[in-house]
Amino acid sequence: MSDTGTFKRFALLASDAHRAKTAYADLLPTHDWVPVEEADVAVVLGGDGFMLQTLHEMLNRGKVIPAYGLNRGTVGFMMNRYRNGGNVLSRVQKARPFTFSPLRMEATTQDGKEHTFLAINEVSLLREMRQTAKIEVSVNGRVRIKELVCDGVLLSTPAGSTAYNLSANGPILPLDSKLLALTPISPFRPRRWNGAILPDHLPVKFRILEAAKRPVSAVADQTELRDIAEVLLTVERDTELTLLFDKGHSLDERIVAEQFQV
């Protein structure tokens, strides 16, 4: 099989979902797939959760390649439409890239230990117990809210703005906006604060108040760290991820369409 496009070596990955496994079995005989470690591009079968998992595994391995998703999951916001019998490799070669950088979370726990994680969608801080969290919010080195009393707060990238951020009534961000969404989760005080839209070059810092009495966890996409004391968030500009989308079905179009759902 000869491919004359940009990509030469293709990996095929599938989630454990039944629909993804069925699609994997259908596509497996159509090409000489290679392990993801040897590939130029990954064809990912599943939903948004599996795509996030795949991208994080690439980051952990230290080799990040473009990913072309086919929706065999539930939401599939980061995926393309699956078509039976379609020429997947041709679609990949013609797909348009969307390149972005993840968030870098530097967190300190109550015992003084420091941890670093990357988040593609968002970093969310969540109360661990029945009592509300109390969080000091700083942006660009200045305290903006001395005491946010809430169930939590999150900082979202444009790519993640239609995920948890949207469910928390946060704004949808265009992909090329170079903005971040700072969104409270069930805020009690200040009650009328609905969040903020920030330039993505500004660092955001959360300091947990009464941390022992009101413990808070930090979640970077799918990775949770409990009993935190402080979190610093910046954009990891030295790292780039690339998603591939069919022409006419880009993430930009989906973000626009999402804002007209009624």
**Residues counted in the chain:** 262
> Which of 188, 186, 204 is closest to 136 using CA atoms?
204
- Distances in Å between the Cα of 149 and the Cα atoms of 41, 188, 206 are 44, 5, 12
- In 47-132, beta strands by DSSP E: 67-71, 96-100, 103-109, 114-119, 122-127
Q: Look up 48 and say whether it is catalytic.
A: yes
Number of helices (H), then strands (E), belonging to the chain: the values are: 5, 17
Beta bridge partners of 180: 198
Cis peptide bond upstream of 190, omega within 30:
yes
Annotated catalytic residue within 3, 16, 48, 151: 48
The answer to whether 183 touches 195, Cβ cutoff 8 Å, is yes
Residues 6+ apart with CB under 8 A from 2: none
Active site residue ranges:
48
